[in-house]
Amino acid sequence: MNNNRRVTIKEVAETAGVSIQTVSRVLNNRPDVSAKTRENIQLVMDQLGYQPSKLARDLTRQRSYTIGVVIAGLEYTGPSKTLNGIAEATEDLNYTLILKELHHFEYNVQPVLNWLYARHVDGIIWAVPEYGNNRDWLSEFLPQFPIPIVFQDMAAQPDTSIVYMDNYIGGEKATKHLLRLGYRQIGHISGPLGWYAAAERKQAWHDSLLQAGIEYEDRFHIECDWSLSSGAAAIGPLLDQYPEVEAIFIANDLMAIGAMQALCKRNTQVPQDLALVGYDDIPEAAFVCPPLTTIRQDFYRYGYSTVSQLVELIEAVRQHKDSIEYKFTKIEPELIIRESTIASRKRR
């Protein structure tokens, strides 16, 4: 090629008429590619002037029994509890952890993965929450990376192993619990909708209302930032724009506890005047007054499933298996009913 632009693995695959994964197998000297296909791909790489990444090397190095974890948002309940679950599961399976914390959700991924690879990890758990477009690198960079990666908290992707805490089912359980109790005017305080988890919880609430014959209006919803203070600050605007509201599904327990304090200051009783459902089941949820109905996430199971799935991939790659099974595993959360919800006296 006559310009200085770097040729990508995707261009090689398209020109050769094969998948990105097949090109990756050739780059990593995998045996599960025919000689004819290998020769054709090599010819295309030569014609295009493709220079493989320095990470596209075979897996001859010694096994370390170490797992890398990339995570961000540890100031939030979900990511911090997720890391606890991963750490417990890793210890149970006799692996060691190397942690790489990111301080924002948008990043240059290659230096992060290079840093972990240089420390001889056998595989990586990508525990950074899906936020906006921060998964756009997957199709281009992932096939070139020589060790397996399992992702958490993201939508399904082809040829990608993912363990997902099912936020849609959780949001559905919260909303349908309120509907079963007879509430019809149900508001929602969401987390920041750039987060995949927050968007899924809101979508489940929205869909559950529609299934119950309740037409959605924008005034039913306030977007917040997961914090106690944002939950407290949302109550006034939500009640002003939706005065007939009878119950609120709040997308995490911290915001729900903040909302309870704001309601107390307004002399609004929970659940007599307004029922609340939270999400996460943090320890404090059982000790506020009244105790908070919420959605419990099993972070130990989440971590254990992720580590187990990664270990399976590590074994498959090291044994040069002809095919690798990529799984999309969903962990279903549980509804925990406490005293912040009661049967409505306003059945309509």
Q: Which span out of 55-59, 150-154, 291-295 was modeled with the highest average pLDDT?
A: 291-295
**pLDDT per residue over 191-231, tens digit each?**
999 999 999 999 999 999 999 999 999 999 999 999 999 99
The pLDDT, as a whole number, for residue 6 is: 67
Domain 66-165+299-333 CATH class label: alpha beta
**pLDDT per residue over 61-75, tens digit each?**
577 899 999 998 888
Into which CATH architecture does domain 167-296 fall? 3-Layer(aba) Sandwich (3.40)
The pLDDT, as a whole number, for residue 347 is: 42
Separation of alpha carbons 264 and 77, rounded Å: 24
User: Are domains 66-165+299-333 and 167-296 of this chain identical in fold?
Assistant: yes
For the chain, domain boundaries: 9-48, 66-165+299-333, 167-296
Closest CA to 69 of 148, 125, 128: 125
SS3 content of the chain, % helix, strand, coil (to 5): 40, 15, 40
pTM of the full predicted structure?
Answer: 0.78
Whole-number average pLDDT of the chain: 88
**pLDDT per residue over 275-319, tens digit each?**
999 999 999 999 999 999 999 999 888 988 999 999 999 888 776
pLDDT tier for residue 322 given thresholds of 50, 70 and 90: low
